[in-house]
Homo-oligomer: A and B are copies of this chain.
Amino acid sequence: MRTLNVALGDRAYPIHIGRGLLDRADLILPYLKTKRVAIVTNDVVGPLYLGRLQAALEAAGVRVASVVLPDGEAHKDWPTLNRIFDMLLAERCERSTTLVALGGGVVGDMGGFAASCYQRGMPFIQIPTTLLAQVDSSVGGKTAINHPLGKNMIGAFYQPKLVLADIDTLNTLPARELSAGLAEVIKYGLIRDPAFLEWLEQNLEPLMAREPEALAHAIEVSCRNKAEVVAADETEQGERALLNLGHTFGHAIETGLGYGEWLHGEAVAAGTMMAAELSRRLGWLDGADLARTVALFERAALPVRGPTLGAGRYLELMSHDKKVEAGKLRLILLHALGKAVIHGEAPQADIAAAIEACCG
């Protein structure tokens, strides 16, 4: 088991990465305020892992309540969030009860937001079961639900007390979701870690084959990169925005097609290529850099082109982005492979051209 500490002062917390962690109630117990836990999971992950986690906790004397939500980004909305509140209230959970999110990014986002709101805040533990959640959503405390007019528009910054990343749970992950997780892994290399980018180029096949050692390393380095960024800028006033490489374009794809059509990681991959193409037009990347990026995404079985929505529709959707300030769209672009920057000066025509060049 590897352990990484997310340094956030009095909100610091550990991430344990390893095999068989789902049965390790001993890792959870020190973080409970009282011996009560409410587990939030979904109807895909629940049947696979809820029983095991619940049995381990109950064997340790913990009283467990749970709710099983419908799976998918399409349900990351208020009515589904309210099912968590209904369960917490029906089971008379207290603000000292710990909410445990067992599942992927959507379960983590909704569980975390529910924990932040229930009785104005209850303790929260994350057990991410997808690669995407293990390398991304489990670090940094961003929680949210979607609004018909925008993704992740309603939420909170709320840190977990503990994250358990059990690599064994990735064995049941559909191939498409493994790839989607790799999109965020590759992102860390692109934005700030050239050495990791090279390691990925050498180890993409073991990762795709789910070799535990390769996965553990990729998860640890990804989380360490994210933790460093988050520790420096918890509420995204500056540097943290760099983590959103490909996300402004990607969110437009997700919103434009309707939540759930494309996986988040797939949209990020295509969105990252748009950001890379725009960076090339600004003179920062060359054709070889783009080819290298495309190759890595393609080996990870990820889309490198977005759906044809029309550049105008992309720009319209992107104008709702949370990084818009004083009406100005700020994009995360690449000065080089391994070095992302926040840029608010890209000409609208260049943005549109980069989108068109990467669609269809």
Contact = CB atoms under 8 A, between A and B. Distances in A.
A154 B95 CA distance: 11
Contacts of A152: 120
Given A78-B82, A96-B326, A121-B156, 14 more contacts: A34-B326, A78-B78, A86-B149, A89-B149, A92-B324, A94-B326, A96-B325, A117-B154, A118-B154, A119-B155, A120-B143, A120-B144, A120-B155, A120-B156
Given A147-B89, A149-B89, A235-B121, A324 B94 contact: yes
Which of A120, A157, A320, A326 has the most chain B CB atoms closer than 10 A to its own CB? A120
A235 B116 CA distance: 12
Contact of A153 (B119, B142, B156, B326): B119
Closest 4 CB pairs of A and B: A89-B149, A119-B322, A117-B154, A120-B155
Interface string A133-162: 000000000111001011011111100000
Interface string A35-64: 000000000000000000000000000000
A85 B326 contact: no
A319 interface: yes
Contacts of A319: 92
Contacts of A95: 322
Contacts of A117: 154-156
A1 interface: no
A348 B94 CA distance: 20
A34 B325 CA distance: 9
A90 interface: yes
Contacts of A143: 120
Interface string A157-176: 10000000000000000000
B153 A85 contact: yes
A288 B92 CA distance: 39
Contacts of A326: 34, 94, 96
A320 B89 contact: yes
Contacts of A153: 85, 89, 118-119
Given A324-B94, A325-B96, A326-B96, A85 B154 contact: yes
Interface in A340-359: none
Contact of A85 (B86, B142, B147): B147
Nearest to A119: B322
Contacts of A86: 149
